Structures are given as structure tokens and as C-alpha cells.
Amino acid sequence: MLMEGARQLAQGKRPRLGDLLLTPENARKITHQLAQMRGAAMKVGQLISMDAGDLLPPEMAAILARLRSDAQPMPQRQVQAVLTAAWGAKWQQRFEPFSFTPIAAASIGQVHRAKTLDGRDLAIKIQYPGVRKSIASDVNNVAGLLRLSGLLPKTLDIAPLLQEAKNQLREEADYQAEGEHLQRFAELLADSTAFIVPRLHADLTTKNVLAMSYVGGVPVESMLHAPQAERDRIISLLVGLLFRELFEFGLMQTDPNFANYRYEPRTQQLILLDFGATRRLAPAFAQGYRQVVAAAIGNDRAAMTQAALAIGYFDARTQPRHQAAVLDMFEMALTPLRADGDFDFGATDMVQRLRKAGMALGLEREFWHIPPVDTLFLHRKLGGLYLLAARLQARVNVQQLVLPFLQQPGNAIPAKFAAKFAATIQDRESTLVPNLAGKF
């Protein structure tokens, strides 16, 4: 940056700091360094790149997009060192030949397949050394890059958001905690044969190593060419699971990365992976969203305003035009829930319109406001499902999936849906995927 700045000054130019940072050569170097660093810097970059898209300067978008696929695996000696620290010097004696070639590599760890001498077929997730120690500095460095890019106004206080990012990443870096979430989701979904959750092997799990049963399947996005009914069912299951997480479990896996879902075509079951980004949701938070959804379905703008105020999207001091802009985005984002019958995710420009509306609101710098952090994680999950539904060109009756969760004591239910709420749902599977039998 100093060399480029000196060169431009010598030519009589007045360089901008952001322009000096985001030269093509610097972009290449930053990408390479972040990919080597792995850990929190890479994780934050991946999270931002999934959502931000056109919101970022092209050079930074290119940096972050590459981080989704540029994770570099640990060399064998590092893998051995981590496993020796976790399992002891003679750990290899418990396994048939251990494959040191990872079957997956990501920002915080990599996964190896292994078989124990007692016959267990396992997926072993191994954390990169030093990840937890680097979280604070990595998050601060990524925030610094965003500041230099000019994306964030200097007046915006992102300190609470950065602290929450650090807290979340520390939780993701605790594989014992992830193992507990894995077990909990297996218990919560025990009533459904539609999902597969890997089984935790606690005897081999530590803070830096997570051992779970190996599951196969294919990438869920590879089902694009499956029959329409099968694609519809996949998205119906995932949307139904989102509503259960929010309104029933009070526990949500918030990372929408497509790689966290696989599909077993033979049994038509969805495989759920990676529970590191699991968050607990307070009952009051779920109730606020229940009221938002009910009001949106009932076209009750006043009730939407009250629910948005209760959740914290804005307050009484927010200008009316900004309140209206937020509510407009609510209605747009909830379009699939407001549709009577199947909503065609493959034939809508909803995501693009949401992005355009978000950019317009973002230009209103006096409105810049960070809502409660749980809302950001929920939006990430919802946005990720919308993107996957669009990728699979699914058609889903989302309204019918959410209606059973809106019938709560004291909750104002739109009168036009009273008859629908009166219908009895016989079992849990029909709660998740109602009226899909006719599509097969």
C-alpha cells in the first residue's frame, strides 16, 4: 500500500486508502493469506460473502468469494500432532489405517474418515491449531478491511456485533459443545424418519476433535435434476425444520452453508451436518416472530409495526419512512408465507428485490441500525434456505407449513385462517410436510 501510494503521489494523484488496499495484486495477496490463516478470518469472510454479493466492492467480493473454496488442509504432521494431544501417543493403535487425506476442509477444521478396530465407521473433525487464540484478532482484522473498503460508515457502532461474532466463533471452535448440540438435535428429531443426524462418539470427542458416525449421501444442491416432487419435498422438510427450530425447539442451527445438508436418494432422507453455529432462542424472540408472521399473513400493518418494535428492528424515534421501509422488506421477505398454495422459488426475483431494497435502505446512513443479533442469525438461515430453494427450483406451500406454529394462546390469528387452524394434524411428519403425498 505504501509503495502504491508513493507511486501515485509522484504522479500528482491523491490516492484513497481503500483504493490502495484493493489493488488486484493486494487482493490476490490478501486472499492467499486469509486462506492460509484459516480460522476466524476465513470464517467471517465466508459468512459475509454468502450474503453480501453485489453490496461489496468488486475486489473485496472476489477476495471473500474465493474463501468459500480455498481452505487449505493441514499437513499430515499437524494432523498427527493434534490427534496425539487429544488421544495420546498410541492413538493409531485404535484404528485401522487412518486416512490422512481429508474428505472436507473448511475454515475452522477439516474432516477425515476413519474406521476403528471395533468396527465403527467415523467422520473425525479436527480443528486447526491456534484457531481459538486467533479469533479476536482475526475478527478485528476483517472489520478493519471492511472499514478500509468504505462499506461501513464511520458513525456505525459495530462493536456489539463484533463481540457477538467472537462469542459465536468461540462456541463453534468448541467441539465438545458442538457434540452436545449434535446429540440434542438427534433427540429433537427422533420423531421424524425424514432426517438423519450423525451419532456422536463421545469417547473420541474433545474440544479440538469431534468424532461422529460417517454418513454418505450426495450434496443437496446436486438434486437439481431430480423429479419436481422430490425437490419440493426436500425444501419442504428444511422449511418445516426451520419453523420447528424457531417456534418449537428454541434452538437453531444458523449456518446456511449448502454443505451442511446432504441427501440420501435411496431412502429420501435429509442428512444434517455441522451444528457448531447452533444458537438458543428465547421464547420472547420466537413469540415476536410469530406475531410478525401472523400479521404479515393477515395484511395487518399496524400489528407488524408493533411486533417489529417489540423485536427491536426500530424504536419510536425511527423516522416513519424508515419504519415503512423495514416493514416493506418484511412483507417482501415473507412473500412465500403469504402465498395461498405452492410458492415457486425458481420463478421469483424476491432475493434480488430484497437486495435492492436493502441497498437503498443502507444508503440512508442516518438509519444505520444493528437489530438484535439473534435476528441476524435467523435472517442468515432464512436467506440460505431461500437461495437453496431457488437453486432447486422448488415449489412449496410455505403458508401451510407455518400455520400450525401460529396457533398459540393470546396470539392474534387472522380470521380468514380460522378454518385452517381448526384442522387436526395427525402426526409429526404431516406437521412438517403436509399434503405432499399426492406429489409422489
Catalytic residues: 255
How far is 377 from 383, CA to CA, in rounded Å?
10
Q: Which residues contact 385 (CB under 8 A, 6 or more apart)?
A: 235, 238, 239, 242, 256
Q: Are 201 and 95 in contact (CB under 8 A)?
A: no
Size (the chain), residues: 440
Report CA-CA distances (Å) from 70 to 121, 152, 256, 280, 349. 28, 26, 18, 31, 30
User: Which of 385, 389, 112 lies closest to 257, judged by CA?
Assistant: 385
Report CA-CA distances (Å) from 265 to 186, 227, 234. 20, 11, 11
Beta strand pairing call for 109-115 and 121-127: antiparallel
Question: For the stretch 249-279, what's the b/e string if a residue is b when 16 or more beta carbons lie within 10 angstroms of its beta carbon?
Answer: bebbbbbbbeebbbbeeeeebbbbbbbbbbb
Q: Return contacts of 133-141, CB within 8 angstroms, 24+ apart.
A: 134/37, 134/39, 134/40, 134/41, 135/39, 135/40, 135/166, 135/169, 135/170, 135/173, 136/166, 138/37, 138/39, 138/40, 138/41, 138/44, 139/40, 139/41, 139/44, 139/165, 139/166, 139/169, 141/41
Q: Which residues contact 5 (CB under 8 A, 6 or more apart)?
A: 15, 20
SS3 196: strand
